[in-house]
Amino acid sequence: MTGKGKSGKVGGKVNKTWLHDHINDPYVKLAQKEGYRARAVYKLQEIDQTFHMLQQARTVVDLGCAPGAWCQYLSRSLKLGEGAGGDALVVGVDLLPMEPVPGVHFIQGDFQDDAVLAQMQVLLDGRTVDAVVSDMAPNLSGHAATDGARVANLVELAVDFARHHLRPQGVMVAKVFHGPGYDDLAALFRETFVQSRPYKPKASRSRSSEVFLVGQGLRA
């Protein structure tokens, strides 16, 4: 899995359109101004403001968290960096390294691995999770069917993680892409959560096929 903050490279070459959009992107400029590591933070912010998913959250797991913009948002929202977070807990997991974020516990590794899960269980210390957020995306090949299968595999694994760790009223957000496999993932969310809907934040580029599935309340 990979985290947020894509390089805009395809086959080792810089995508000039992506680079032009990135330099002139108002969300990139806003992220720099507000001290966030990636523009992706504003996707989570809008989802949170729309669905109030963090209103009661005290324990959150961020899957595929590098470079850490979502962890930064979670840290600020739960006031971890101010020392006012109380019993709040944010755990970030990624294969890639991540610079520390105030108050966030980071585990480098694959969230499917037993060793990583063991570290997470120690941190959770018996607590159920209020929210699972995932901006994970595989390294894309450009072949629609292959990429669809890779995305589906990651999301299915993340949903399985949520089933085992979320509290019954918990919420989950996962990035998916319109294309092969999308309908199956949307169906998976409907089967797993009491309420489920797709949502495309304004910060998602219009040409991007990405959309976020939001699930609320685990089905019994």
- Binding site, by residue number, is 68, 70, 94, 110, 135
| Active-site hit among 43, 175, 200, 202 | 175
Active site residue 175: yes
Q: What is the longest distance spanned by two Cα atoms in the chain?
A: 48
Identify any residues that bridge with 195 across adjacent strands, giving them in sequence order.
216
CB-based contact 217:194 (threshold 8 Å): yes
**Sign of the dihedral through C-alpha 131, 210, 157, 1:** negative
- Per DSSP (E only), the strands in 30-164 are 59-63, 89-94, 104-108, 129-134
- Sheet containing strand 104-108, edge to edge, reads 104-108, 89-94, 59-63, 129-134, 166-177, 210-218, 193-199
The binding site for S-adenosyl-L-methionine comprises 68, 70, 94, 110, 135
CB-based contact 173:61 (threshold 8 Å): no
Query: Which residues carry out catalysis?
Result: 175
